[in-house]
Structure 1
Amino acid sequence: MIRLRRTSRLEAYLDVYDVAAETGVHPEFIRRLVRLGLLDPVEAREDERLLFEVSAVPLVRKIIRLRRDLGLNYAGIGVVLELMERIESLEAKIRELEGDLFE
């Protein structure tokens, strides 16, 4: 079960320990992904507790699969994630243009 933290802006976030627990990894692995630029925290508090959006959980799971199943190094994972994001963006644009075409 995902426990959500509330910030002063009343938005739900997960801390590094929650993301680690949900993905079955050690919190230090999550911190490593942040240092490598593969995972962006929403906020880093003074006590060094990182806060993440709930969408970080599926992203970490995707990173784990890319590393485990394809044997990619972290630089390769970054390239694949960026390409996947660009593909999703292009597919969304195609759907938008198709919608405009058939209206």
Structure 2
Amino acid sequence: MSSHDPSLVYTGIIIEEDSLTLGELCKACCVHADWVLGLVEEGILEPHGTEIRLWRFSGSNLVRVRSALRLQRDLGVNLSGIGLILDLVEELENLRIQLKMTGHIREDQPKP
């Protein structure tokens, strides 16, 4: 087992500099490549590279796939809905960061 084996990452910090191939991403998330291709077609994931065999996925893509999988599995959300939900969650997190930076929200303040 190498320390770069993505299947060993269950929780923890995602290192953005690491990149995963399509196969590694699928293995890490226990999904089929066709499902990941659907996420790419919907614009949910944006791999780096021009050809499928050259695609590389970032750590944030790994997080998005796992979130998408939970939305579909647990709530029955379709791919279009998954894209919308993930974009809104990301926007909400960015707004929270901006509010913290401007001092309008404290770190210890509970999330609504």
TM-score, structure 2 length as denominator?
0.72
CA RMSD of aligned residues (A): 1.8
Q: State the partner residue of 2:6.
A: 2
Aligned counterpart for 2:78 among listed residues 57, 66, 73 = 73
Q: State the partner residue of 2:90.
A: 85
Q: Point out which structure has higher relative CO (alpha carbons under 8 A, 6+ apart).
A: 2
Percent identical among aligned pairs is: 32
Query: Does the alignment pair 1:98 with 2:103?
Result: yes
Which portions of structure 1, spanning 4 or more consecutive aligned residues, are displaced by more than 4 angstroms? none
1:44 and 1:34 map into 2 onto residues whose CA distance is 13
Q: State how 1:1-103 maps to structure 2 within 5 Å.
A: 1-2=5-6, 12-45=18-51, 48-49=52-53, 50-98=55-103
1:69 and 1:12 map into 2 onto residues whose CA distance is 28
2:37 and 2:84 map into 1 onto residues whose CA distance is 19
Unaligned runs of 5+ in 2: 8-16, 105-112
The number of residue pairs the alignment matches comes to 90
Contact 1:44–1:51 at 8 Å: present in 2 too?
Answer: no
Contact 2:46–2:57 at 8 Å: present in 1 too?
Answer: yes
Unaligned runs of 5+ in 1: 4-10
TM-score, structure 1 length as denominator?
0.78
Higher strand fraction (1 or 2): 1
Bigger CA radius of gyration: 1
1:42 and 1:88 map into 2 onto residues whose CA distance is 24
